[in-house]
Amino acid sequence: MEKEQHRSINTTNGSLDDLKYQSGFGNSFSSEALPGALPQGQNSPLVCPYGLYAEQISGTSFTSPRKLNERSWLYRIKPSVTHEPFKPRVPVRGKLVSEFDKSNSSTTPTQLRWKPVTVPDSPTDFIDGLYTVCGTGSSFLRHGYAIHMYTANKSMDNCAFCNADGDFLIVPQQGRLWITTECGKLQVSPGEIAILPQGFRFAIDLPDGPSRGYVAEIFGTHFQLPDLGPIGANGLAAPRDFLVPIAWFEEDYKPGYTIVQKFGGELFTARQDFSPFNVVAWHGNYVPYKYDLSKFCPYNTVLVDHSDPSINTVLTAPTDKPGVALLDFVIFPPRWLVAEHTFRPPYYHRNCMSEFMGLIYGGYEAKSDGFLPGGASLHSCMTPHGPDTKTYEATIARGNEAGPHKITDTMAFMFESCLMPRVCPWALESPFMDPDYYKCWIGLRSHFSYEGMNAKSNDLKNEHDGSADRATVVELISKTML
């Protein structure tokens, strides 16, 4: 079945605060900035309307199954091929990695945590402020991921960035991003995310000055909405809340305009005399998009126990193995906690998946201290983790009388992957690394009381004339403890 077609016309160049979008996830969209700019009845006519060039961008192989095939047709003033040869960018950016091995990264099972990174004083745009924290696999082999962070204090000037390695999922934590893409413009605020698919050229402006955030990059696949299973047809992230830009173009002569292309983790530059954002019309299903995390519809336990964090998955990049993700994007939004007789914060855990966490604003329910907005943590495969000492003690002190409680003013997230990450040396040696992270659990003490259990056992045996067997007594003790 063909996906729903969305058509829009944008004839004004209004401010970004007045931006209009198309809505939907995975739809076949169409948009034109000038009436009649989209060819009718075919993709590549001999002469396109307004004398435009037709150019296709493919996000999947030509022969991918129709339900997985992603591509868009762009109708532009000049084709993107019109540039000088690419040359290695100088100076070399050594802190971007897309091929992880022993030469550029290392493994550790230790729990890691970073404090928020300060924005540099020297002029730094998104490209120069982007650095890899950890990852695994290879962009060349089309399998794996990289997790980056960025700090920036200036807009990109007379240049655009293109990532040939994979898709970017950008999570701004401080400062809005105005992102110009070949399909149009996106305004992305902290609390929202943007997905910039492999190969699209984009530029990032900073209307609020200093900016900071997180980036997940996936190789060889694209993000999709998770299946809902027993939840049914509704809940979590709704397709209609994903927003796609409307066609917008510029046609000015721009001598010395630079395309910066990330290819195999290395940066290359090519010069041209026009803006890459000269697309007057486009149609297809391979597009940049954004999502407001406040629109997420969370599900939660309504009787006992704590739900697995997978219940909060916004987007997933699947592997060939059912139910196993190359990378999940999971959030921990405001929500009610109502479970009875239950330790409500996240349980202590060792996971076959690896978890990288960040905090956009507020606090995180499992860490009372040390995990700050703009910071991050990494708990790798089978590395134990869970609530810190203060959180645990405060939770059990409230006992079973704790009533319903709403978590408010917070937005934490997690990048979770089945692949074990390698950590870059500059991340391990960073002055923002928290060397005392392990101490948040050292204070956990034993609450085990064998004597108390024996006393209860003897009391219950006396109540039952000493005739109760051990299994019956243990069951009775368990009930009295509840």
Residues 268 and 306 in one domain: no
Q: How many residues comprise the chain? A: 482
Identify the pLDDT of residue 100. 97
- Profile the chain (482 residues) by mean pLDDT over runs of 10 residues: 43 63 96 97 97 98 95 98 96 92 96 96 97 98 97 97 98 98 98 98 97 98 96 96 98 95 97 98 98 97 92 97 96 95 93 97 92 97 95 90 91 98 98 96 90 63 56 51 48
Alpha carbons 286 and 196: distance in angstroms, whole number:
10
Burial class (CB in 10 A: 0-12, 13-18, 19+), 191: middle
Quote the distance between the C-alpha of residue 361 and its chain's center: 15
Residues 151 and 215 in one domain: yes
Is 222 among the residues known to form the active site? no
Alpha carbons 69 and 59: distance in angstroms, whole number:
8
Is 389 part of any domain?
yes
CA distances from 378 to 134, 356, 414 (A): 9, 4, 10
Residues 298 and 271 in one domain: no
* Residues tagged in the binding site annotation for homogentisate: 364, 385
Is 189 part of any domain?
yes
Alpha carbons 88 and 270: distance in angstroms, whole number:
9
Print burial letters for 307-323: b (CB count within 10 Å at least 16), e (below 16): eebebbbbbbbbbeeee
Is 29 part of any domain?
no
Residues 117 and 211 in one domain: yes
Hey, which residues does 243 pair with through a beta bridge? 23, 290
Residues 205 and 312 in one domain: no
Is 124 part of any domain?
yes
Last residue of a domain, one of 434, 458, 474: 434
Print burial letters for 221-259: b (CB count within 10 Å at least 16), e (below 16): bbbebbeeeeeeeeebbbeebbbbbbbbbeeeebeebbb
Specify the pTM: 0.91
Residues 289 and 311 in one domain: no
Alpha carbons 373 and 174: distance in angstroms, whole number:
9
Alpha carbons 405 and 311: distance in angstroms, whole number:
19
Alpha carbons 166 and 326: distance in angstroms, whole number:
13
Domain count, the chain: 2
Annotated catalytic residue within 148, 222, 283, 306: 306
* Residues tagged in the binding site annotation: 349, 355, 364, 385
Q: Which helix (H) or strand (E) holds 481?
A: helix 470-481
Hey, which residues does 457 pair with through a beta bridge? none
| DSSP three-state, residue 462 | helix
Tokens at residue 429, please? Answer: 């040696």
Residues 126 and 227 in one domain: yes
Last residue of a domain, one of 268, 293, 318: 293
Is 299 part of any domain?
yes
Residue for token pair 């898709």: 167
Residues 184 and 307 in one domain: no
Is 441 part of any domain?
no
Is 139 part of any domain?
yes
Is 110 part of any domain?
yes
Residues 289 and 334 in one domain: no
- Are 326 and 231 spatial neighbours (Cβ–Cβ below 8 Å)? no
Alpha carbons 300 and 53: distance in angstroms, whole number:
51
Residues 248 and 299 in one domain: no
Hey, which residues does 53 pair with through a beta bridge? 76
Alpha carbons 356 and 231: distance in angstroms, whole number:
26
Read off φ and ψ for residue 310, nearest 5 degrees: -60, -20
Residues 163 and 270 in one domain: yes
Quote the distance between the C-alpha of residue 354 and its chain's center: 14
The parent domain of residue 335 ranges over: 294-434
For residue 400, what is the domain's CATH number? 2.60.120.10
Q: Is the dihedral of CA 122, 173, 394, 355 positive or negative?
A: negative
- Are 261 and 162 spatial neighbours (Cβ–Cβ below 8 Å)? yes
CA distances from 104 to 34, 133, 163, 217 (A): 48, 11, 20, 17
Identify the pLDDT of residue 456. 61
Hey, which residues does 266 pair with through a beta bridge? 263
Identify the pLDDT of residue 1. 33
Residues 191 and 206 in one domain: yes
Alpha carbons 297 and 412: distance in angstroms, whole number:
15
Last residue of a domain, one of 250, 266, 293: 293
